Amino acid sequence: MNKIEVNVDDLMQKKFSYFLTEAAGTNFHAGFLPQLTPKQMLTLGVFGGKYMTDCTKEFPDDWFENAKLCHEKHLDELNFYGVNASLPLSVWQEKGWIFADDPRGWFQWYCRYYMGRRSEDDLRQIARWKAMTRHLGQLKKNCTPENPDCRRRQKQALLNWSYDCRNL
């Protein structure tokens, strides 16, 4: 695949660009096996619908056809599990989890990675994604399929990280 330059000009990044070097949805690092695509996550409902409302031009139009989004504010009811499972961006910034290339955090990194960008931050972000598996163990230990309301906040947090808890 030839390098494709993507130019970004949204509320959080002005005159920023990066290159896609892989075909979309292919050639992921070994061990990085997200269960949902960014499109599926947006359709199910993540981040209270507030995420990515000003940067839709950067990604395929079909990602947003059925996305649950709200331009004005975060709405818990737009999340698949109907609860808030996100920390404010300011907390992520204070903890040093946000890097300049992806000022919106992990999901922005994942969307760009999925589209074919590879960066120096890939291994760090993949390690953060893998660390979320501890929540899967807690769900399997404490929840039964007969109780869909069990630990909804934990399930939403996992969904925000591309883990699908609908069939645990």
pLDDT tens column, 95-129: 888 899 999 999 999 999 999 999 999 999 999 99
* C-alpha span between 53 and 131 (Å, rounded): 27
Count how many domains the chain has.
1
User: Does residue 166 belong to any structural domain of this protein?
Assistant: no
Average pLDDT over residues 47-65: 92
User: Does residue 51 belong to any structural domain of this protein?
Assistant: yes
User: Does residue 165 belong to any structural domain of this protein?
Assistant: no
pLDDT-derived band at 31 (thresholds 50, 70, 90) equals very high
User: Does residue 129 belong to any structural domain of this protein?
Assistant: yes
The pLDDT of residue 63 is above 80:
yes
User: Does residue 168 belong to any structural domain of this protein?
Assistant: no
State the residue range of the domain holding 139.
4-160
User: Does residue 167 belong to any structural domain of this protein?
Assistant: no
Q: Output the CA–CA distances (angstroms, integers) from residue 121 to 16, 36, 76, in the order listed.
A: 16, 20, 30
Beta bridge partners of 65: none
- State pTM to two decimals: 0.94
The pLDDT of residue 167 is above 90:
no
